[in-house]
Structure 1
Amino acid sequence: MKLLFLAPLSPQTGNHTTADRIRSHIESAGHTCELRDAGEFQSPADVANLVSQDPPFEGVLAIHLFKAGRLLLDVQIPFGLIFGGTDINEDVKDEQKRVVMKQVLLRARFAVAFTEKLKEEAELFLVSQSAKIYVQPQGVQTEVTEEFCWTEFLHSSGVRNKCVDKLRVFLLVCGLRRVKDPLYLVEVFSDWHCKNLLNILVIIGPKIDPVLTAEVEAAVSRTTGVFLAQERSQPELHAAMKRCFALVNSSVSEGMSGAILEAMDLRVPVLARDIPGNAAVVQHEANGLLYSSPQVTTYRICAPISK
């Protein structure tokens, strides 16, 4: 079977990682899967022309109900959808986008939500029946490089401590964009660092939003105990995650955080912002900690550390 796979493919984002993993799975099953960036296309007509080429595509799969789904309204072949997270959590609040997403979902053969909560939100805002929406949690595979040097990683990020093994490094893994809210915990972690110099926060991820990137760089330069690391390959990132004290998530919205799943796979403690996407994965005080405000963050951390 020849499939077209549309997704927002900004480098090193969750949607890109998920799309690569699904494409690999489809191809390993013996099908042909052409992965394309939704940003390449200007209109539904562009995609309709692509799928009708010779030999024609037999089906389409898309991640993100608005960014990719809106491009499928003119195709005459079956298509399925995977909710991206921001489509259901954020884009649905925009009336014009919601109208388009309703049309797309009504035409789709099926839709996949990574969590029950995401399915419930989709049913509430977009469609009254749930027959075509299936819940399928994500799976991840981690790969840790043996050539990774923890000391070099921290020193290159601006950490000046000579004995880095004593540090409690909290790692915030996210692309620098508004929905990830990387500045949310900067002040509280800096204050905490001033009280105990062993506690530091390292932010790492691709610089997607230039304006926000400049804000993060400025915030890091004027605060102590908070550092911005250069983007690393996936195996190097997993190696850094494995060495850190805990993984931190500060997102405003998540479908299902790949970084949280990867940390769990690596048996690294998780501290996540209490939003529906995170709460669907992290059970508070069972497999991680949830926090509702920056001030609650240090309380959540200090309690188990002090025991």
Structure 2
Amino acid sequence: MKLLFLACLSPKTGNHTTAERIRSHIESAGHTCELRDAAEFQSPAEVANLLSSNPTFEGALAIHLFKAGRLLLDIQVPFGVIFGGTDINEDVKVEQKRVVMEQVLQKARFAVAFTDKLKEEAELYLLSQSSRIYVQPQGIQTEVSEQFCWSEFLRSSDASIEHVDELRVFLLVCGLRRVKDPLYLVEAFREWHYENPLNVLVIIGPKIDPVFTVEVEAVVKSRGLLGPGEEPTGASRCHEMVLRRGKQLRLRGHVSSHFGGHGSRGTCVGQGHSRKCSRSPA
């Protein structure tokens, strides 16, 4: 079977990563999956023309009912849709978008929500048949990278590495953009860190929104947190976040820019993770 798969493929976003993972899974099952950026198309008619001129397509799939699913409304082959967080958290609040999303849901052969809560909210806000919405949690396979050393990563972020085994590290992976605002955690974690300095927060992700990145850096500086290349002094030993311009972290074989990574008096990668530095031949 050959499928057309539409998704928002902005670089370094969860949508892109999720779409690539689903595409890989579909192709590993023996099918052909052509992944296209929804931004390439201006209207449902363009997608319909694409499929009519390529009769080998037998179905279609889209992530996000409004951003991508609406482009499938005119096609003549069956399709399915996958809910994105933006569908329920933002787009349903706009009446024009909500109406379009309902049309997509009614025409789709099936819809997938990654969580029970997302399904419940979809049924609450959209006129839908619950039997069409299936809950399929995301499954992510992780592998230890032999080329990654946690201690060296911390050194590159100007972190001390004393008492590594005693720390509790909380890792937040998200890009610096307003819709994924990581700052909502900073104040609460700052207080928690003062109560117990062994609790540290590491934030890893690309600087997607330059304007918002400046705002984050300003908050880091105003709260006395570690900024780029700074060392803690006096009462400002709150090391939840450090912004590192131009740095890269190789993790599980994938390269992603990082803007965070600091722990009070050292840090560990978390429960159950090997703390040894391993090397592979050059």
| TM-score, length-scaled by structure 2 | 0.77
Q: Find the counterpart in structure 2 of residue 235 from structure 1.
A: 252
Per-residue deviation at 1:98?
0.3
Q: Which residue does 2:151 correspond to in 1?
A: 151
Aligned-pair identity (%) = 71
Match of 1:113 in 2: 113
8 Å contact kept, 1:204–1:228: no
Mapping of residues 1-307 of structure 1, within 5 Å: 1-159=1-159, 161-163=160-162, 165=164, 166-194=166-194, 197-222=197-222, 223-224=224-225, 225=239, 226-228=241-243, 230=247, 232-235=249-252, 243-245=268-270
Deviations along 1:131-170, one digit per CA (max 9) or x if unpaired, are 21112222110122011121221122232x1426254433
Q: 1:123 to 1:162 in 2, by over 3 A?
A: closer
Deviation at 1:52, TM superposition (A): 2.1
Query: Are 2:173 and 2:205, in contact at CA under 8 Å, matched by a contact in 1?
Result: yes
Using the TM superposition, give the Cα deviation of residue 195 of structure 1 relative to its aligned residue in structure 2, in angstroms: 5.4
Deviates further, 66-75 or 193-202: 193-202
Distance 1:117 1:193 in 2: 30
- Misfit runs of 4+, over 6 Å: none
State the alpha-carbon separation in 2 of the partners of residues 180 and 92 from structure 1.
18
- Decide whether the 8 Å contact of 1:205 with 1:231 is kept in 2: no
Post-superposition offset of 1:6: 0.7
Change (3 A) 1:119 1:194: closer
The whole-number CA distance in structure 2 between the counterparts of 1:197 and 1:125 is 43
SS at match of 2:47: helix
C-alpha displacement at 1:58, in angstroms?
1.4
C-alpha deviations, 1:225-265, integer Å up to 9, x for none?
Answer: 12235453441689x9x94247xxxxxxxxxxxxxxxxxxx
**Contact persistence 2:9–2:38 (CA under 8 A):** yes
Distance 1:34 1:22 in 2: 11
Q: How many residues align?
A: 246
Is the radius of gyration larger for structure 1 or structure 2? 2
Which secondary structure state, in structure 1, belongs to the residue aligned with residue 4 of structure 2? Answer: strand
1:32 is displaced (CA, Å) by 0.8
TM-score (norm 1): 0.71
Which whole-Å CA distance do the structure 1 matches of 2:170 and 2:14 have between them?
20
C-alpha deviation, 1:14, in angstroms: 2.3
CA 1:60–1:168 in structure 2 vs 1: closer, same or farther (change >3 Å)? same
Letter in 1 for 2:269: C
- Runs of 5+ unmatched residues, structure 1: 247-265, 269-307
Q: 1:174 to 1:86 in 2, by over 3 A?
A: same
